[in-house]
């Protein structure tokens, strides 16, 4: 069991969340014709043993997208933040 | 794996829609299989939500399972690819061949894929049956999308 401390809802077990993979991939610019960049963005993923920065969707909670740093060897959650900072500048 | 019970099923029950399968061992225990964790892990342990998920699938398929007790569970490494299909091909390095990324399919497909792989190695070119299972299909766009789930291995 992984417990994720959602910045909006508080600590919840991971059954409430949907995993969505690597959070470090940056989408190529709209209209980019750099096929290598698209290939990397769509298909290539590292699978680190240790800290992994990943997206989780709080599907059965506030429905926010979160960026979670998790240790893949211990399942320790090191940090949780909203994937998109709020426009008001808060959390 | 459940507590041992009297003979109940003498076949392997497999439900693709729920990613669930069941068989009964000679000792009488029911053996179940289900989905993967979804998230990357080297922790070498499972988790309760997934056990819950597998058993929910089992009970919806066979309600008679609901009162059984469970003994133990285990997991293994799943070599997932981005389109849900394996890679069986020559590599860019001469003499190095790739056979992997079997997702959920390895055990059942081993005889046929081994035969194709042997052909690929012996002839230094793929057999007709595995021509498309290249690693280059991801850059060329000729994917073999088993489930149409997109490049999301946890959704396959
Ligand atoms: Zn939340």
Query: Mind listing the pLDDT tens digit of every residue in chain A (91 residues)?
Result: 899 999 999 999 998 999 999 999 999 999 999 999 999 999 999 999 999 999 999 999 999 999 999 999 999 999 999 998 766 655 4
**Beta carbons within 8 Å of B100's beta carbon, 6+ residues apart:** B79, B86, B87
What is the spatial distance between Cα A17 and Cα A64, in angstroms, rounded to a whole number?
10
Q: Work out the minimum CA distance from B69 to partner chain A, whole angstroms.
A: 21
Burial of B136 (0-12, 13-18, 19+ CB in 10 A): exposed
Nearest-neighbour CA in chain B from A6: distance (Å): 17
The boundaries of the domain holding residue B126 are 79-156
Closest CA to A82 of A57, A69, A65: A65
Q: Is residue B8 part of a domain?
A: no
Tell whether B80 is within 8 A of chain A (Cβ). no
User: Do residues B120 and B156 share a domain?
Assistant: yes
Identify the pLDDT of residue A88.
63
Count: domains in chain B: 2
Domain contains B25:
yes
Number of folded domains that form chain A:
1
| Chain B residues lying within 8 Å of A20, measured CB to CB | 152, 154
Nearest Cβ partner for A15 among B40, B49, B151: B49
Residues B83 and B61 in one domain: no
Q: Is residue B100 part of a domain?
A: yes
> How far apart are the CA of A57 and the centre of ligand 1, in A?
8
Residue A10 placed within a domain: no
Instruction: Answer whether residue A54 is part of any domain.
Output: yes
Task: Say which residues have a Cβ less than 8 Å from residue B15's Cβ, sequence separation at least 6.
Answer: B21, B57, B61
Q: Is residue A20 part of a domain?
A: yes
pLDDT, one tens digit per residue, over B114-143 is: 999 999 999 999 999 999 999 999 999 999
**What do you get for the CA distance between the two ends of chain B, in Å?**
23
Q: How does residue B110 score in pLDDT terms, banded at 50, 70 and 90? A: confident
Please tell me the distance from the alpha carbon of residue B131 to that of residue B98, in angstroms, as a whole number: 13
Q: Is ipTM beyond 0.90?
A: no
Q: Check B48 against A74: CB less than 8 A apart.
A: no
Let me know if residue B18 belongs to a domain. yes
Question: A1 in a domain, yes or no?
Answer: no
Looking at CA atoms only, how far is residue A59 from chain B in angstroms?
Answer: 15
B115–A contact, CB cutoff 8 A: no
- Asked if residue B139 and residue B101 are part of one domain, the reply reads yes
- Check which CATH number belongs to the domain holding A88 and give it: 3.30.2270.10
Contact B117, B99 (CB under 8 A): yes
> Residue A86 falls within a domain, yes or no?
yes
Closest CA to B102 of B83, B120, B79: B79
For residue B129, the surrounding DSSP H or E stretch is none
Q: Is residue B142 part of a domain?
A: yes
User: Is A90 inside any structural domain?
Assistant: yes
- The answer to the question of residue A38 being in a domain is yes
A80: containing domain: 16-25+33-91
From B49, B138, B152, residue closest to A39, measured CB to CB: B138
Mean pLDDT of all residues belonging to chain B = 91
B94 vs B155, which has greater pLDDT?
Answer: B94
* B72 domain-assigned: no
Cα B156 versus chain centre, distance: 10
Q: Does residue B66 have a pLDDT over 80?
A: yes
Instruction: Identify whether B74 is part of a domain.
Output: no
Task: Tell whether B110 is covered by a domain.
Answer: yes
pTM for this one?
0.85
């Amino acid at each position: 069991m992984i417990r994720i401390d959602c910045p909006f809802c508080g600590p919840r077990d991971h059954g409430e969340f949907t995993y969505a993979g690597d959070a470090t991939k940056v989408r190529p610019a709209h209209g980019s014709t750099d096929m290598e960049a698209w290939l990397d963005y769509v298909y290539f993923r590292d699978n680190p043993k240790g800290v992994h920065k990943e997206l989780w969707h709080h599907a059965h909670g506030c429905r926010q997208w979160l960026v979670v740093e998790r240790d893949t060897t211990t399942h320790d959650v090191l940090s949780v933040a909203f994937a998109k900072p709020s426009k008001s500048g808060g959390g | 794996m459940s507590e041992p019970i009297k003979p109940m099923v003498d076949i392997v029950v497999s439900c693709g829609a729920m990613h669930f399968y069941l068989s009964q061992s000679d000792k009488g225990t029911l053996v179940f299989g289900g989905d993967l964790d979804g998230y990357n892990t080297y922790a070498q342990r499972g988790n309760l939500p997934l056990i819950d998920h597998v058993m929910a699938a089992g009970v919806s398929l066979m309600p008679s399972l609901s009162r059984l007790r469970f003994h133990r569970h285990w997991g293994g490494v799943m070599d997932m690819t981005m389109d849900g299909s394996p890679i069986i091909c020559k590599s860019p390095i001469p003499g190095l061949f790739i056979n992997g990324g079997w997702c959920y399919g390895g055990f059942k497909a081993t005889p046929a894929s081994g035969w194709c792989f042997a052909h690929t190695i012996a002839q230094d070119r793929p057999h007709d049956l595995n021509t498309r299972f290249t690693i280059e299909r991801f850059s060329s766009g000729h994917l073999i999308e088993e489930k149409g789930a997109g490049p999301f291995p946890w959704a396959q």
